[in-house]
Structures are given as C-alpha cells and as structure tokens.
A = this chain, B = another copy of it.
Amino acid sequence: MVTMKDVGREAGVSAMTVSNVLRGNTNVTPETARRVREAADKLHYRLNTTSLSARSLRVSTSRHGRNFSTIGLAIFELDRPYPSQLASLISQAAEKRGYQTVVQETRINAENERSIIERVSNQFCDGLIFSSSRLSASEIEQLSNHRPTVLLDDDRPQQDLDTILTPSEAGAQAAIEYLWSTGKRHIGIVGGLGENLVNAAGEDNDSSATFDINDTLHRRLMGCCNAFEKLGVQWEDVPIIATPWTDTDARKAIAGNADLVRSCDALFCMTDTTAFGVIRGLKDIGLRVPDDIAVMGFDGIDMGAIMTPSLTTVAVDIPMVAQKAVDLLIERIDDESDRERQRIVADFRIAQRESA
C-alpha cells in the first residue's frame, strides 16, 4: 500500500506536505504542489480512508459537518419484487431520517450473512436490519458486536431482538375466508411443501439448527388450516401443491398437477410471484382465470395491480414494515436503554381485484 510517506519521499517532502497538497487546504508553493501531485500519480497513491476514520475518532465533527449514519440491510434476494420493494422502501424511510442504507443480498445463505456482518455491517453501520436471517439472534449479536438489530419475518420464538412480522397467519386465514365468501368450495393451496425460496438445504447444522426455512410457510399454512376448520372443511381434504415460491416453478407445478388443479375452483398461492406463475400455468392447461378458477396471492406487490387479470391478494402493508423497521432500529441506535424488545405484526388488507 502506498502511503503519504511514500509519496513524500518520491517528491522530496514530508507526508504532512503531501496531506496539505492533496486536500488543497493550506498554502503550498505551486511548484511543490506539482511535484507532490506528480509523485502521487506515479505511485498511484490513494487516500486510505480507513485511517481517515481512525483519525476522525479524534475530531468530533466530520469534515463536512454532516452526520454519517448508516443502516445495513441484509435481504435474502434482490431479484424478486417483494424483497426489492421492501429494500427500496426501507432505503427511502431511512433517508427521511438522515440515514444511508446499504443493501446486501444473502441469498438465504448463512455464510453470506456472516460475511456481510464481518465485512460491512460491523465495520461501519450503526444498526442492522436482517430479513429472513439464517443466523440465530445470539450469533448476530456476537458477530455484530451488539449492534442494534431488527429482524424481519423471523418468527423463531427464542429470538430476543426487535422483530417485524408479516401477518402470515391472519392474512392466509382471511384469504381462505374471502375465497369461501365468493362461493368457492374447492380451494387448493399452492406453494405448500418442499424446499422453498431456494434449495438451501443441508448446510449450517449447528447454530441455526432451530431455524426452519419454511417458518413463514408454516405460519401461512396454519392460517389456512384455521380458516378451513372454522368453515368445517377437513384439512386432510385440502389439495396442496408443492412448489418453491418462484413463478417458473409454480408454472411447472401446475402443469405437473393438472388433474388435481382441475378439481379446484380456487387456488390460494403462498406469494404473489407464485400466483403469477400459477395464472400462467393455468392458461397453459386451458383454464381461464377467474372464469374457470379463481387465484389469490399473498404479499401485495405493485405489479399485481397491472397484470391481466389483476391479482386478488393479501396485500401486506409493506411501507409499514419498512417504516416500523427503520423507526425501531433508530430508536435502538439513539437510545441505549434496554427497553423491552418489540414484536410488531404488519397490517394487511384483501386487495380485491380480477383474479378472484
């Protein structure tokens, strides 16, 4: 690494003069400045900002008088609508409160998450937001040196961190009840079993042994189950189509379960993206939505309103998730007191559109 000392030696001056030249602050002879700049160019000098920050510990105010507060957001996937909308909303909510957000993709991999904390979040973030983490709260706490942390969509009971949850159980129950209220009596569920999101099985048997990637799934299934029970339908009789929660997988799952699908008059899908694939898959096998069969999703991503047919769905209040996450985190950052951890379930509404 090239230091100011090196540049100084090359230019025949001290490191101090190099510093002065490069920041253009104090008076330096034009000739000296030129020599220094040449030397810096020649050696490809780059300001080592790490040590700059070390220095800045000393001076209370930053050079520009701004607050350099930063939130780290670890999110499972960036290429799908729900997490990317959430990331965007969090960025914007944080910005309104004077925080910069840095987003990192975990792809639901524990090793990635550790790396994120070690390399970045822990290095310079004032707080962390973890969405669908595979790490235990205690590991996050330890790796992050007890940085304030908010978890999203992590329902493991042993966690002792602030948590924002999507209304999986209540939302799913409301979905089934809605379909029932429109006269559907043969409601199937899509996205039920098997590995979900990604096939991330078989890793990480230690710290997160208690973690089930299908946690959110279970809560949504539980909501369905409750609804059917209230409606007097045997849970065992409910058709469940297994598929990962992606559009292409869901499309294939419909093709592979055509007969089962034809016995239904409505399908409730575990996510909107799944529903998109289902609607496409239904067209592939000659079924019209909603005329032949109703389809309902879960999430409330923007694109659902634009699709043809537009998607009836459990619309989670995603801006609320983002806002609460940011608020809770900043509260923790500002206030070191040990107030009790919070656990907030986001609102939802049934967005009644064309598909059901």
Contacts and interface: CB of A to CB of B under 8 A. Distances in A.
Interface string A27-50: 000000000000000001011111
A46 B145 contact: yes
A119 to B, nearest CB: 5
A56 B122 CA distance: 14
A123 B308 contact: no
A173 interface: no
Interface in A260-318: 276-277, 279-280, 283, 302-303, 305-308, 310
Interface stretch (A110-118, A177-185, A187-195, A229-237): A110-118
Interface stretch (A84-92, A132-140, A218-226, A343-351): A84-92
Contact of A1 (B57, B64, B89, B120): B57
Contacts of A66: 115, 118
A9 interface: no
- Chain A interface, >50% SS class: helix
A68 B349 CA distance: 44
A56 B78 CA distance: 31
A200 to B, nearest CB: 14
B336 A307 contact: no
Interface stretch (A96-104, A150-158, A209-217): A96-104
Q: Range of interface residues on chain A? A: 35 or more
A57 B48 contact: yes
Contacts of A124: 49-50, 120, 123-124
Contacts of A336: 44
A68 to B, nearest CB: 5
A81 interface: yes
Nearest to A1: B57
A103 B72 CA distance: 10
A78 B68 contact: no
A95 interface: yes
Given A51-B54, A54-B54, A105 B116 contact: no
Given A64-B118, A78-B103, A95-B112, 12 more contacts: A50-B56, A66-B118, A77-B88, A78-B88, A78-B91, A79-B302, A91-B105, A92-B105, A102-B104, A251-B306, A276-B307, A307-B307
Interface of A: 1, 44, 46-54, 56-57, 64, 66, 68, 70, 77-81, 84-85, 87-89, 91-92, 95, 100-105, 107, 112, 115-116, 118-120, 122-124, 145-147, 247-248, 251, 276-277, 279-280, 283, 302-303, 305-308, 310, 336
